[in-house]
Amino acid sequence: MQTEELKILLALEPKWTISLNGLEFLTVASSEISIRNSTIEFGRYSRTISSLEWLRPNVVRIQGKAKFRTQADTITLYPGERLPSSADLRRKRRSFQVEIGRALCSYFGTRRTERQTLYADRQHGIGGAYARFIVGKHAVISVDPDEPAVIVNGLMRAALLWAPLVRRPTAAVVPHGRHQTISARLRNMPLARRAIEWLQWDGNRIQPLEESTAEPETHVQQFVVPDAGSEVARICALAPDLLQPVLHIPGKAISIRLRGIEIARVSDQGTVYPLGEPLGDVITELASVRRHGSRHPLSRAHEERWLESNLVGDIGQLIPSIDTRHIYPQVPSFIGEERNVIDLLTVTTQGRLVVIEIKASPDPDLPFQALDYWIAVERHRKAGDFQSKGYFPGCKLQHEPAMLVLVAPLLAYHKTAGRMIAMFPAELPLMEIGINQTWKNRIKILRRKGLVS
């Protein structure tokens, strides 16, 4: 065993941060760490080393057992006083778990939690950001308010997946002040509202989730098409089979793309070339590497944009009743929230709005992110915002709920998607479309599920 090399390494750094099973984190001076024969001692801990693994030249993972215990502990040593980002995140989540655990005991009137868990359950699709507890007769799942929006909002999916596994009354604790998206979903999802007891935590105490009319902030930009038709035509003529003009509504511009990657943006203020000039050389080089079968990094970048380009070019194959004159990307837009799906808004020839959500890779959050967008579209439809801002000229929109169409490679539909979709409101007209994995070459529809009429 390489304990001599470890002794030398420990002497090179004055301080070390030690993770014990990812649950406890200590910063100790190297003088407080000793190795004798096959035993490591640090602080008040002593473990007999059973295995030693070098993760990096200065990061070591040790498996060791305490005296009179059969279960091994995992000890990871990091140089210095700062943890790497992944370990630091784990420590932060562990601190939240301890804090929320105390609040749960107070709320449910128990002395302690019976069990608590903080790890990723990949088999059941539950991420490692969600602290889970057994408190008395209840199972409780929660999330740190400092997590990104996609993780906070993902609490709903995690709770619905976890509840059947624990087979006891389940509660979910939503961070107060970051509850708008989940509250909006619950107003439209009576099944999800009944399946889980929804609570909120304000940093001090836990209480039932307040009924709220607050909505995630979305905005419908004024629709303005730049007077640049001749410039767009000139650029597209360089490679008419490859280049596609796409509306860039926030920039009041036309984005010219090659398989989803922007090579020019045309507005009333002029034309910019994000990848540089001469444009002919850019087109030739990009087309040679961004193609079906290529292993170049650019063939895997922005795949949703590439799939969007292919779908828009053949959208009649997806939904024959679509009015192809009116296809708008990312309308409405979410304020201050990153979304990793492509949203298209269009209309049928009969005047019914259609929301199309596109994803090129597996994403367990696709169903609920699609629902978020549908909820926003419905809100703006009822308020008359689309036509007042210049969208769908010449169309009379129906006073009917918008249709929702999910499009993804068949194998990219996450295994939990069906269970989440089952929670959707009954009045939502939904269609799931599964396409071939080789869509970069040519799109083939392999499955249609649901009715859109």
Structural domain includes residue 248 = yes
Residue 214 lies in a domain: no
Distance CA(102)–CA(204), nearest Å, equals: 10
By residue count, the chain amounts to 453
Residues 96 and 195 in one domain: yes
> How far, in Å, CA of 452 to CA of 239, rounded?
36
409 and 422 share one domain: yes
Query: Quick one: 162 and 224 in the same domain?
Result: no
Task: Give residue-wise pLDDT tens across range 166-209.
Answer: 989 999 999 998 899 999 999 999 999 999 999 999 988 999 99
Report how far residue 187's alpha carbon sits from residue 426's, in angstroms, rounded to the nearest whole number: 13
Q: With the CA atoms of 333, 336, 338 and 343 taken in that order, what torsion angle do they form, in degrees rounded to the nearest 10?
A: -10
Domain membership of residue 256 as a residue range: 220-297
Residue 198 counted as domain residue: yes
Considering the domain architecture, whether residues 286 and 325 belong to the same structural domain is answered as no
Q: What pLDDT digit, counting tens, does each position of 357-381 carry?
A: 999 988 888 999 999 999 999 999 9
- Hunting for tokens 């801990």 — which residue is that? 45
Q: Are residues 315 and 292 in the same domain?
A: no
Res. 337: pLDDT tops 70: no
Confirm if 47 and 69 have CB atoms less than 8 A apart.
Answer: no
Contacts of 399 (CB under 8 A, 6+ apart): none
Q: What's the confidence (pLDDT) of residue 187?
A: 92
Residues 309 and 433 in one domain: yes
Question: For helices 180-188 and 155-166, what crossing angle results, to 10°?
Answer: 60
- Final residue of a domain: which of 33, 59, 82? 82
Distance CA 31, CA 284 (A): 61
Q: Are residues 341 and 431 in the same domain?
A: yes
What is the per-residue pLDDT across 207-245, written as a single tens digit (0 to 9) for each?
Answer: 999 887 777 888 899 999 899 999 999 999 999 999 999
Please give the model's pTM, rounded to 2 decimal places: 0.79
Residue 215 lies in a domain: no
Residues 168 and 251 in one domain: no
254 and 310 inside one domain: no
Q: Is the pLDDT of residue 26 over 70?
A: yes
Domain presence at residue 213 = no
The torsion angles phi and psi of 210, rounded to 5 degrees, stand at -70, 140
Same domain for 332 and 228, yes or no, is: no
Domain end, chosen from 278, 297, 316, is at 297
Instruction: List 133's β-bridge partners, or say none.
Output: 116, 140
Residues 347 and 398: their CA atoms lie apart, in Å, by: 10
- Based on the domain organization, do 73 and 95 belong to the same domain? no
Q: Which residue has the higher pLDDT, 152 or 453?
A: 152
Q: Is residue 343 part of a domain?
A: yes
Q: Does 69 map to a domain?
A: yes
Position 235 in a domain = yes
Examine the domain organization and report whether 285 and 307 are in the same domain: no
Number of domains in the chain: 4
Which among 265, 297, 329 is the end of a domain? 297
The pLDDT-based confidence of 453 (bands split at 50, 70, 90) is very low
